[in-house]
Amino acid sequence: MNSAVILQIQSAIILLLMHIGVYIILKKKNRLLHAKCMGIAIAWDIILILQIELTRGAIAKAIKVPTNPIILNIHVGMALTCVLLYFVMIYSGRKILKGDKQLLKLHRFSGALALTLRTLVFFTSFMVVS
Protein backbone atom coordinates (compact mmCIF):
# COMPACT_ATOMS: atom_id res chain seq x y z
CA MET A 1 0.00 0.00 0.00
CA ASN A 2 1.53 3.35 -0.97
CA SER A 3 1.72 6.34 1.37
CA ALA A 4 -1.06 8.27 -0.44
CA VAL A 5 -3.55 5.47 0.24
CA ILE A 6 -2.54 5.27 3.91
CA LEU A 7 -3.04 9.04 4.26
CA GLN A 8 -6.45 8.91 2.51
CA ILE A 9 -7.63 6.06 4.76
CA GLN A 10 -6.67 8.04 7.86
CA SER A 11 -8.41 11.12 6.45
CA ALA A 12 -11.61 9.09 5.82
CA ILE A 13 -11.57 7.66 9.38
CA ILE A 14 -11.10 11.16 10.88
CA LEU A 15 -14.00 12.49 8.81
CA LEU A 16 -16.17 9.55 9.87
CA LEU A 17 -15.26 10.15 13.54
CA MET A 18 -16.26 13.82 13.19
CA HIS A 19 -19.63 12.97 11.61
CA ILE A 20 -20.30 10.27 14.24
CA GLY A 21 -19.30 12.75 16.99
CA VAL A 22 -21.83 15.31 15.74
CA TYR A 23 -24.71 13.36 14.21
CA ILE A 24 -24.81 10.21 16.35
CA ILE A 25 -23.25 11.07 19.72
CA LEU A 26 -24.79 14.57 20.04
CA LYS A 27 -28.23 13.23 19.09
CA LYS A 28 -27.97 11.05 22.20
CA LYS A 29 -27.09 14.21 24.16
CA ASN A 30 -23.79 12.72 25.34
CA ARG A 31 -21.81 15.96 25.50
CA LEU A 32 -18.74 14.49 27.19
CA LEU A 33 -18.41 11.68 24.66
CA HIS A 34 -18.91 14.26 21.87
CA ALA A 35 -16.04 16.34 23.33
CA LYS A 36 -13.75 13.28 23.59
CA CYS A 37 -14.58 12.04 20.09
CA MET A 38 -14.02 15.48 18.53
CA GLY A 39 -10.80 15.97 20.52
CA ILE A 40 -9.39 12.68 19.19
CA ALA A 41 -10.45 13.54 15.61
CA ILE A 42 -8.87 17.02 15.81
CA ALA A 43 -5.59 15.70 17.29
CA TRP A 44 -5.41 12.94 14.66
CA ASP A 45 -6.12 15.48 11.88
CA ILE A 46 -3.22 17.67 13.02
CA ILE A 47 -0.96 14.57 13.17
CA LEU A 48 -2.14 13.72 9.63
CA ILE A 49 -1.06 17.17 8.39
CA LEU A 50 2.37 16.58 9.97
CA GLN A 51 2.61 13.20 8.21
CA ILE A 52 1.71 14.83 4.86
CA GLU A 53 4.41 17.45 5.45
CA LEU A 54 7.03 14.84 6.40
CA THR A 55 6.28 12.40 3.57
CA ARG A 56 5.58 14.87 0.74
CA GLY A 57 6.90 18.30 1.74
CA ALA A 58 3.39 19.74 1.64
CA ILE A 59 4.27 23.26 2.85
CA ALA A 60 6.91 23.82 0.14
CA LYS A 61 4.34 22.82 -2.51
CA ALA A 62 1.43 24.72 -0.93
CA ILE A 63 3.20 28.09 -0.75
CA LYS A 64 3.70 28.27 -4.53
CA VAL A 65 0.24 29.84 -4.72
CA PRO A 66 0.63 31.80 -8.03
CA THR A 67 1.77 28.75 -9.99
CA ASN A 68 -0.26 26.04 -8.25
CA PRO A 69 -3.50 24.73 -9.83
CA ILE A 70 -6.53 26.63 -8.49
CA ILE A 71 -8.02 23.45 -7.00
CA LEU A 72 -4.84 22.94 -4.91
CA ASN A 73 -5.05 26.53 -3.61
CA ILE A 74 -8.73 26.03 -2.71
CA HIS A 75 -7.92 22.69 -1.00
CA VAL A 76 -5.06 24.21 1.04
CA GLY A 77 -7.16 27.28 1.94
CA MET A 78 -10.01 25.13 3.22
CA ALA A 79 -7.64 22.85 5.17
CA LEU A 80 -5.95 25.84 6.85
CA THR A 81 -9.33 27.38 7.74
CA CYS A 82 -10.31 24.03 9.32
CA VAL A 83 -7.23 24.02 11.55
CA LEU A 84 -7.98 27.60 12.69
CA LEU A 85 -11.59 26.61 13.38
CA TYR A 86 -10.41 23.62 15.45
CA PHE A 87 -8.94 26.05 17.99
CA VAL A 88 -12.26 27.94 18.11
CA MET A 89 -14.08 24.60 18.63
CA ILE A 90 -11.76 23.49 21.45
CA TYR A 91 -11.95 26.89 23.19
CA SER A 92 -15.73 27.28 22.90
CA GLY A 93 -16.40 23.57 23.58
CA ARG A 94 -14.40 23.62 26.84
CA LYS A 95 -16.24 26.75 28.01
CA ILE A 96 -19.65 25.17 27.19
CA LEU A 97 -18.66 22.00 29.10
CA LYS A 98 -17.91 24.18 32.13
CA GLY A 99 -21.44 25.57 31.94
CA ASP A 100 -20.91 28.80 29.98
CA LYS A 101 -23.64 28.68 27.31
CA GLN A 102 -22.72 32.07 25.81
CA LEU A 103 -20.42 30.51 23.24
CA LEU A 104 -22.94 27.89 22.08
CA LYS A 105 -23.99 29.95 19.03
CA LEU A 106 -20.36 30.41 17.97
CA HIS A 107 -19.68 26.71 18.60
CA ARG A 108 -22.67 25.68 16.46
CA PHE A 109 -21.82 28.03 13.60
CA SER A 110 -18.09 27.32 13.48
CA GLY A 111 -18.82 23.59 13.96
CA ALA A 112 -21.10 23.50 10.91
CA LEU A 113 -18.49 25.44 8.90
CA ALA A 114 -15.59 23.22 10.08
CA LEU A 115 -17.47 20.01 9.26
CA THR A 116 -18.50 21.26 5.81
CA LEU A 117 -14.97 22.44 4.98
CA ARG A 118 -13.35 19.23 6.33
CA THR A 119 -15.71 17.17 4.14
CA LEU A 120 -14.76 19.27 1.07
CA VAL A 121 -11.06 18.93 1.97
CA PHE A 122 -11.48 15.14 1.86
CA PHE A 123 -13.13 15.15 -1.58
CA THR A 124 -10.79 17.75 -3.13
CA SER A 125 -7.77 15.76 -1.85
CA PHE A 126 -8.46 13.19 -4.60
CA MET A 127 -8.13 15.97 -7.22
CA VAL A 128 -4.76 17.26 -6.01
CA VAL A 129 -2.64 14.10 -5.53
CA SER A 130 0.46 14.17 -7.71
User: Residues interacting with ligand HEM, by CB under 6 A?
Assistant: 18, 22, 26, 31, 34-35, 38-39, 42, 86, 89-90, 93-94, 96-97, 104, 107-108, 111, 114-115
Residue closer to ligand HEM (CB basis): 62 or 111 = 111
Cβ-closest position to ligand HEM: 93
- For residue 95, the minimal CB distance to ligand HEM (Å) is 9
Residue closer to ligand HEM (CB basis): 68 or 124 = 124
**Rounded distance between C-alpha atoms, residue 37 and residue 35, angstroms:** 6
- For residue 120, the minimal CB distance to ligand HEM (Å) is 14
- For residue 51, the minimal CB distance to ligand HEM (Å) is 19
Please name the residues in contact with 120: beta carbons below 8 A apart, sequence gap of 6 or more: 78
Please provide the DSSP assignment of the chain as one string. --HHHHHHHHHHHHHHHHHIIIIIITTTT-HHHHHHHHHHHHHHHHHHHHHHHHHH-HHHHHT-TTTS-HHHHHHHHHHHHHHHHHHHHHHHHHHHHTT-GGGHHHHHHHHHHHHHHHHHHHHHHHHH--
- For residue 64, the minimal CB distance to ligand HEM (Å) is 29
Residue closer to ligand HEM (CB basis): 16 or 97 = 97
Residue closer to ligand HEM (CB basis): 23 or 65 = 23
